[in-house]
Amino acid sequence: MSKKIYLYGNWKMNNTYSETEKFFAEFPAVYEPLKNDSNLEVGIFAPFTSLWPLSQGAKKCGIVFGAQNVYYEPKGAFTGEISIPMLKEYDVTHIILGHSERRHIFGESDELIAKKVKAVLDAGMTPVFCYGETLEERESGSTFTVMERQLKSAIKDLLPEEISKIIYAYEPVWAIGTGKTATPDQAEEVCGWSRKLIGNEKVVILYGGSVKGSNAKELLNMKDIDGALVGGASLKPASFLEIYTAFKN
Ligand code: PEP
């Protein structure tokens, strides 16, 4: 039996409402040959303002969809934030948390991200928890120290059944949006190490960082990599789904 692959697209701050409608005008035809493949789970994570057309398009195609961030309080004086109940009204089930752009551009701390992870789990939703080292951290030999801190902070107060519900995404910061990909061995080393640290061999762990059709096969064939979190290549249906086709062929 071949393994199940999670192919998740993070649109970041791309694709407006009308561009999302355009994406879903094209997507069904490209997805058609793959849609009955039970070893594939496709997900798309859009900006808040594109969640309505995303939800409509995704439901028609039977794919997972979600948001890229959320605040942990249910409501109140938090100007500019979006809450979990707000996302639930759009039937959002999955939320990316701790993406390196949230950590490094917007200064989100491990503590804040841990609160978000807990709140999302409490709401019965799935956190897609991102972690990974910067180039400086890798070059100074602190890759595993940094990731241990990020991972432990997110899961330390959770029950084993909560820990198993999280989808983990190892995303080396130096490989995100740079065109530089971690080698399959580098990605595998971290994903295998993460399973041990998390204490559950069965958790879903994705790799993210410049994944595209041309490098997908080697990465997705690695034993401890369950799928890909894809930025740039997820913006067009063809370049996104080509990642899975490359793995299969
Ligand atoms: C990401 O945004 O999570 C990502 C991995 O981006 P890219 O594929 O463009 O490197």
The secondary structure of residue 233, as a DSSP letter, is: G
Ligand 1, atom nearest to 212 Cα: 8
User: Domains of the chain (ranges plus CATH)?
Assistant: 5-248 (3.20.20.70)
132: pLDDT confidence band, cut at 50, 70 and 90? Answer: very high
Q: How many CB atoms lie within 10 A of CB 107?
A: 8
Ligand 1, atom nearest to 169 Cα: 3
* Pocket of ligand 1 contains residue 9 by CB under 6 Å: no
173-222 tens-digit pLDDT? 999 888 888 899 999 999 999 999 999 999 999 999 999 999 999 999 99
Flag whether the pTM goes above 0.85: yes
Residue among 7, 211, 219, 242 whose CB has most ligand 1 atoms within 8 A, to mutate: 211
Q: Is the pLDDT of residue 53 over 90?
A: yes
- Say how many Å lie between the CA of residue 31 and the centre of ligand 1: 21
pLDDT the model gives residue 177: 84
Q: How many CB atoms lie within 10 A of CB 105?
A: 9
Q: Is the pLDDT of residue 1 over 80?
A: no
Residue among 230, 235, 239 whose CB has most ligand 1 atoms within 8 A, to mutate: 230
Ligand 1, atom nearest to 10 Cα: 2
Query: Which tokens sit at 211?
Result: 């994944």
CA distance 205 to 195: 8
Helices and strands in the chain, H and E counts: 11, 8
CA distance 219 to 171: 13
pLDDT > 70: percent of the chain: 100
DSSP assignment of 36-105, as one string? Answer: T-TTEEEEEEE-GGGHHHHHHHHHHHT-EEEES---SSSSSS-TT---HHHHHTTT--EEEES-HHHHHT
94 catalytic per annotation: no
Query: Strand, helix or coil at 158?
Result: coil
Mean pLDDT of 99-108: 97
39-50 tens-digit pLDDT? 999 999 999 999
Question: Tokens 């890798």 — which residue?
Answer: 138
CA distance 112 to 63: 29
171 catalytic per annotation: yes
* Pocket of ligand 1 contains residue 10 by CB under 6 Å: yes
Q: Which residue, judged by its Cα, is nearest atom 4 of ligand 1?
A: 231
